[in-house]
Amino acid sequence: MKQKLTIAICTIFLATGLIRLGVGAIVISQLTGWWQLGGEAAVAVAETQSFIGDANVNLLGFTPLTYFAFLLLMGAIVSVGAIGQLWRKSWGLALIGLYVCCHAL
């Protein structure tokens, strides 16, 4: 039972990471002008630019590009961490913990 729960949780983390990777790549390509997809990607870029531009304080100095790159990095971290945990490697859980710390940041 414990092993099935672990596999289910790791599968959810892996799916979340892969979605983050895909969406991050789409939004970065929209932002940099590689592809002009319109729709949700254009809205996400516009809203993020507005949000970052309207902020009184930007402690980390994020630009829209670095913000989306950070989200892409988070997707890579949690995906690799989930795969490592499924393979029962000690670094898998450490990467999942790093992903959670990124959310705190």
pLDDT digits (tens, 9 = 90+) for 57-94: 877 788 889 999 999 999 999 999 999 999 989 899 99
78 in Cβ contact with 13 (< 8 Å): yes
81 in Cβ contact with 92 (< 8 Å): yes
80 in Cβ contact with 99 (< 8 Å): no
32 in Cβ contact with 65 (< 8 Å): yes
Which residue, chain included where needed, has tokens 């039972």? 1
pLDDT classification of 32: cutoffs 50, 70, 90 = confident
